[in-house]
Structure 1
């Protein structure tokens, strides 16, 4: 699907929601640093938040109490895993995943400019591929990814301009993004792969 069409379909519904009297809304853009647990390539674990990705979409929010607001986002989010190439570990490996995410959350203002946020993000996988030194991995070597991802998250928002705020958050999948091959263990987390994401984004309020 054309990326411009995807972005249009993401943002358009939020513009209509934000027109309601009690709602504010706008655009967001930023970056992810991500990793996936349980990833091995050539016998070595791929660890660390070395896979960068972009975030782009829109949001709406409304105050439900004096210092408490509820919010929803619809955004395109890139994440996955990447092996950090070194002299001791020269093998290239990259997992690229693209999701349409719909986070819903509450924010609690700790001061006039800062707020703690927490909620759940529901993701739908729209693209995936894996690469090594020789290019894209053969289809026969690939394990299927699960379509749905659910990530609880916590974070912090800071208003540094009248219409602009930043958002820093950490998210962890509770549903596996895919199952690991071979015999299972008695531990759920060791039988599957899970996504971990640290994100930083800027939010621009439209309208008022």
Structure 2
């Protein structure tokens, strides 16, 4: 169901420009500085666990600013609350027979992305940069045969600081509204191999791997 939702969101994002292209052009030149708010969602997975596929949905929201450095070139700095992690289900065996085990990893970050953007056309913008992430909350657990079991974060710690690559493609819906698709991947690991619970390890350091769909409103 979540994969269907993701595909629907992606289709809406990329079909929207065909609708907007029939509308009048941008009413005025872009200002040298804009600040605003961002709201959207992360569609995440964690490389290095026992699963592949985007199954974890979380919030991506906060504040954003654009500063024009040269014609068509912008510096973008943001302060975000960003929810990442992993979620999957698989069949396990027990003395009572097979059962469905559900695993959840929830990682909440304060995120500070810094990107350089280039406006390819009056509406289309591409960007690339890096993002610093500070872990503020984590939860890791699985549902066994009878109940949920939580992992001790002191015994299986995550790294408090993490850096990610960021790539983006944006479309200006108006002078004040921007729709954006981002891809992010960890430069530094989320957790070392030695700190991963044994039965949930892919035998390599864990890294965030996600897409984000966002809408920004700028003054």
TM-score by length of 2: 0.74
The secondary structure found in structure 2 opposite 1:69 is: strand
- Mark the runs of 5 or more structure 2 residues left unpaired by the alignment: 1-30, 93-97, 196-201
Mapped partners of 2:125, 2:151: distance in 1? 46
User: Hey, what does 1:162 align to over in structure 2?
Assistant: 175
Root-mean-square deviation (CA), in Å?
2.3
Change (3 A) 1:93 1:56: same
Report SS of the residue matched to 1:28: strand
- Identify the residue that residue 125 of structure 1 maps to in structure 2: 135
Note closer, same or farther for the CA distance 1:172–1:109 as it changes in structure 2 (3 Å cut): same
Equivalence for 1:56: 61
Whether the 8 Å CA contact 2:63–2:78 is kept in 1: the answer is yes
Confirm whether residue 77 of structure 1 aligns to residue 90 of structure 2.
Answer: no
Tell me if 1:115 matches 2:125: yes
Q: Does the CA contact (< 8 Å) of 1:50 and 1:84 recur in 2?
A: no
Aligned residue in 1 for 2:199: none
CA distance in 2, matches of 1:104, 1:84: 35
In our comparison, the structure showing a higher alpha carbon Rg is 2
Separation in 1 of the partners of 2:38 and 2:68?
19
The reply on whether 1:173 has 2:186 as its aligned counterpart is: yes
Structure 1 residue runs of 4 or more that deviate by more than 6 Å after TM superposition: 86-89
CA distance in 1, matches of 2:158, 2:65: 30
Distance of 1:112 and 1:38 partners within structure 2: 40
Q: Across the two proteins, how many residue pairs are aligned to each other?
A: 175
The whole-number CA distance in structure 2 between the counterparts of 1:90 and 1:144 is 26
Q: How does 1:179-190 map to 2 (within 5 A)?
A: 179-181=192-194
Unaligned runs of 5+ in 1: 1-20, 40-44, 183-188
1:144 aligns with 2:157: yes
Residue 192 of structure 1 and its aligned partner are, at CA, apart by 1.0
User: Helix, strand or coil: the match of 1:118?
Assistant: strand
Change (3 A) 1:190 1:85: closer
Candidates 190, 194, 206, aligned match of 2:207: 194
Contact 1:178 1:194 in 2 (8 A): yes
1:161-187 Cα deviation digits (max 9, x unpaired) = 3311111011100101111128xxxxx
